[in-house]
Chain A
């Protein structure tokens, strides 16, 4: 009888202790170093990276579907060689940056952390695992019930623990600092502001926080915290360290409300985090809410960030952006019913619609930026030719430090020619548990769609690219095919 009471008391005490559970807090920044921490300029190009060929990838959201499609694209880049500076090298080694949201963040983070090991490990460790079932198992495990009763520990923290233990081996951003490219920007969405938050030191400077000690698994969890199904992930907005100054680019941009509302909005959102009284914390959901194809970070780097500086410093000869968009378009029946949809359907549609709305616009915006640059180069060259012919004595026009060739490549299921294959992929669910056949289909589709892209073929022509012979059949779909049933 007495021992039973002892056990009950022990369980109760354990429960009370567990109910004090708290999510791991991001560490404060002790001193400000504008060039330290996880930033693009702190990474080295690596032995196989020419530096003048600048390749960025954008991985969209879409659960395991997006992760597998992005993984297929990485395989295709691995099996493609180019000729640059007189030597042959793998195109994958030219990848300089990856921006990602949601499911795509698993692939991006795994590749940045483990590099070529991704091709041996990623399928069994992530793509072919029932992550969703394991997450549910964590939530249903009585050992976690008391922890989940704490207001400071939520389902997303359980997810982050699972990813940390089973996918990312406890890796911190410290494991990436000072290493080789690619630089990764894992993107989440600030629930209050609705704005993009990226896990880079440039962003964390505004939070007075040091990203080095932060687990990659938590960044990936924030990036893939699908609304309603998962809870937001929380960060503390620490006081700025001594000596911190808001970058001049941000303070100048605050004058641009009329001149450039886009730049002004970017600066204003960052400056929100300087208000430590009204915003002592921030809560993050899936990055897809702000940008479901992960391209905004690349567009920002092009207009005002590390890509812009490299272009103006004449360091880039070829700039290619490959957008891997796992967007689907499953058949709907909402319009078939007289009665309005129920709350769960409305909630899910609300989350999904906002995720899809800006994807098309962002790709077109990036294409427009590339087109503007090409046109400006042509205008200057044509005008100089005219001046040389008609007015040979005049001073020469100012020219760009380097002519650059730009390529924007988009991989998406709409580009599949076979209608039944297209329907198969456009109907795949957003889930963290897909069948082996679905995974096989997605990997092959990533390779096939990239290879078939005319924009990608133009890039390969420019770079003297060719496919490894033994990889030619890798685009074939598995036996049984990847087609919707009639």
Chain B
């Protein structure tokens, strides 16, 4: 399995491929592959979504994806 952490200044639900799947700041465990990452409402973040490829991560070295507050 692969590991992802989504960063945002506030705690927010994370959407992965359009479905709620974890929260910001926590380890999210997924199988290897391509994913579209976004956040739950309100839509005060940028970019609106990001596509990432998860591969060769570990729980101690997860892929980090950052959203900024607007």
Interface residues of A (CB under 8 A from B): 247-249, 252-253, 255-256, 259-260, 262-264, 303-304, 308-309, 311-314, 369, 372-373, 376-377, 379-380, 383, 397-401
User: How many chain B residues touch A (Cβ–Cβ < 8 Å)?
Assistant: 29
Q: Name 24 interchain pairs, CB-CB below 8 A, sorted by A.
A: A247-B17, A248-B17, A248-B18, A252-B33, A259-B55, A260-B31, A260-B32, A263-B31, A263-B32, A303-B1, A308-B21, A308-B30, A309-B19, A309-B20, A313-B21, A313-B22, A379-B58, A379-B59, A379-B60, A380-B60, A397-B60, A398-B26, A401-B26, A401-B27
Question: Does B34 have its Cβ within 8 Å of any Cβ on chain A?
Answer: yes
Say yes or no for B48: interface residue by CB 8 A criterion: no
Report chain B residues within 8 Å CB of A249. 17-19
Tell me the bound Cα distance from A399 to B59 in angstroms. Answer: 8
Contact among B19, B25, B29, B30 with A376 in the assembled complex (CB-CB below 8 Å): B29
Establish whether residues A398 and B33, one from each chain, have CB atoms under 8 Å apart when the complex forms: no
Interface of B is mostly: strand
Compute how far the CA of A376 lies from the CA of B61 in the bound complex, rounded to whole angstroms: 11
Q: Taking CB as reference atom, which chain B residue is nearest A256?
A: B33
**Beta-carbon contact of B60 and A383 below 8 Å:** yes
**Which 7 pairs of residues, A with B, have the shortest CB-CB distance?**
A312-B22, A376-B59, A248-B17, A249-B17, A260-B32, A256-B33, A252-B34
A172 to B55, CA, bound (A): 42
Q: Is B34's CB under 8 angstroms from A369's CB? A: no
16 further A-B pairs in the complex, CB-CB below 8 A; given A314-B26, A372-B1: A247-B17, A252-B33, A256-B32, A259-B53, A260-B32, A262-B31, A263-B33, A303-B31, A304-B30, A308-B30, A309-B19, A309-B20, A380-B60, A397-B60, A399-B26, A400-B29
Measured between beta carbons, the chain A residues less than 8 angstroms from B12 are: none
Question: Tally of A-B residue pairs with Cβ under 8 A?
Answer: 91
Question: Which chain B residues in 31-47 approach chain A with CB under 8 Å?
Answer: 31-36
Knowing A248-B36, A309-B19, the reply to whether A380 touches B27 (Cβ < 8 A) is: yes
- B22: nearest chain-A partner, CB-CB: A312
CA distance A256 to B62 in the complex (A): 19
User: Contact between B27 and A304 (Cβ–Cβ < 8 Å)?
Assistant: no
B21 x A376 contact (CB < 8 A)? no
A435 to B23, CA, bound (A): 54
Q: Which residue of A lies closest to B2 (CB)?
A: A260
Q: How far is the CB of B38 from chain A (nearest CB, A)?
A: 10
